[in-house]
Structure 1
Amino acid sequence: MVSAVVLDVGETLIDETRIFSRWADRLGLPRGTFLGLIGACAATDRPLEHAFELARPGFDVPAEIARWAADEPDGLRENFDADDLYDDVRPALAALRDAGYAVVVAGNQPPQARRALEAMDLPVDSIRTSDEWGVEKPDPEFFARVADLTGVPPSGIAYVGDRLDNDVLPAADAGMRPVLIRRGPWGYLHATRPEAARVDVVDSLHELAACLGRPD
């Protein structure tokens, strides 16, 4: 039985629409165009960085982030805040904790993401990012770190994410229970793939408690 639920960040907890809309503005593109390029990358299994390359060949994302920070030091820029949380996040995570699950957030995120998430005062036990661990999904070491953090054997952990390739199939390979949330461009696309038969698929975080059963 599962006793710990670990959740990805982007498009699992955080709706990234505002982030990529700001990026479109920064790139001088119509928002629909840039969001479409991101969808195209999801559909063709290209990394997200390719959307920037398609929009602006040779574009240096880290350098532009630095320039953007200098131009708008007090703006959100490529970051997120509590207004970007999906509506189901707070009540669903609170319900999981009330049901007896340990609840952890762990995803591929830059250093400022942990501060942003902690400022939201989410009902979770721990928050960690790939940056502080020095390892990113889908590396098996990331999921080993998840197990160490929870103190629960992999078989007692459910990992919830919006991608088969980066999130839930590597979690399954690590011995965890994989749960795909069907939202964001990758979530909707990946839920239609044959590999999704290997995982639980939910449309909302509210479905997790019923999907997982009672914790040990």
Structure 2
Amino acid sequence: MVRAVVFDVGETLIDETRIFSRWADRLDVPRGTFLGLVGACAATDRPLADAFSLARPGLDLHAEMARWALEDPEGLRENFDADDLYADVRPALAALREAGLAVVVAGNQPPQARAALEAMDLPVDSIRTSDEWGVEKPAPEFFARVADLAGHPASQIAYVGDRLDNDVLPAADAGMRPVLIRRGPWGYWHATRPEAARVDVVDSLHELLALLTR
């Protein structure tokens, strides 16, 4: 029986379209081109950083982020806010909590992400990031931290994410119930792969309550 549901962040809760669009503007490439490069990385199992290096060869991403912060300290830049939440997030999370399930957010995110998520006043019990823990998915240690945070054995936890490789298959290896959401570049591609037969696949977070409590 599932007693806790843990969510990834990017393309699970947060629509990253605006983030990638701002990056396209920053790198002076058409938005469609940059979004296409992100999709190409998803389709070919290349790291997301390759989209940036393809758009601007030789780019030092961390240095560019630092310059951007100096030039536009009050802007969102590579960050997100409540306007980037997918429409199903608040009602779906609220329904899970009302059903008595613990609801947790834990993903690979930079330091500022937790504050951004907490400012949204989401119906969740806990929020943590890889930066706080000093360990990232798909490392088993990350999912051990998830279980500790959720307060339930791994066998009673569902982990919801948009990637097979980084999210749901490592969660399954940790003993959790894996749920792939088919959205975002990785979600759509990964739902077509043979490994997706090992996991539950949903098109909306609204499907979770019936899936996990039946």
Aligned to 2:18: 18
> Which amino acid letter does the alignment assign opposite residue 121 of structure 1?
D
Aligned to 2:110: 110
Q: Secondary structure at the match of 2:160?
A: strand
Task: Give the unaligned 5+ runs of structure 2.
Answer: none
Aligned to 2:29: 29
Aligned to 1:124: 124
Q: Secondary structure at the match of 2:196?
A: helix
| Cα displacement (A) at 1:151 | 1.2
- Per-residue displacement from partner, 1:16-66 (whole Å, max 9, x unpaired)? 000000000000000000000000000000000000111111111110000
Is 1:169 paired with 2:164? no
Q: Secondary structure at the match of 1:97?
A: helix
Q: Secondary structure at the match of 2:124?
A: coil
> Which amino acid letter does the alignment assign opposite residue 59 of structure 2?
F
> Which amino acid letter does the alignment assign opposite residue 192 of structure 1?
T
Is 1:139 paired with 2:152? no
When the two structures are superposed, what TM-score results if normalisation uses the length of structure 2?
0.99
Over the residues paired in the alignment, what is the CA RMSD in angstroms?
0.5
Distance (whole Å) between structure 2 residues aligned to residue 71 and residue 156 of structure 1:
46
Q: Secondary structure at the match of 1:79?
A: coil
Is 1:46 paired with 2:32? no
Aligned to 2:63: 63
Distance (whole Å) between structure 2 residues aligned to residue 151 and residue 23 of structure 1:
38
Of residues 156-165 and 51-60 in structure 1, the stretch that sits farther from structure 2 once superposed is 51-60
> Which amino acid letter does the alignment assign opposite residue 187 of structure 1?
G
Distance (whole Å) between structure 1 residues aligned to residue 188 and residue 141 of structure 2:
27
Aligned residues: 214
- Per-residue displacement from partner, 1:70-122 (whole Å, max 9, x unpaired)? 00001000000000000000000000000110000000000000000000000
Distance (whole Å) between structure 2 residues aligned to residue 182 and residue 147 of structure 1:
24
Aligned to 1:187: 187
Distance (whole Å) between structure 2 residues aligned to residue 115 and residue 9 of structure 1:
13
Distance (whole Å) between structure 1 residues aligned to residue 12 and residue 203 of structure 2:
10
Task: Give the unaligned 5+ runs of structure 1.
Answer: none
> Which amino acid letter does the alignment assign opposite residue 157 of structure 2?
I
User: Which consecutive segments of 4 or more residues in structure 1 shift more than 6 A?
Assistant: none
> Which amino acid letter does the alignment assign opposite residue 49 of structure 2?
E
When the two structures are superposed, what TM-score results if normalisation uses the length of structure 1?
0.98
Distance (whole Å) between structure 1 residues aligned to residue 49 and residue 211 of structure 2:
33
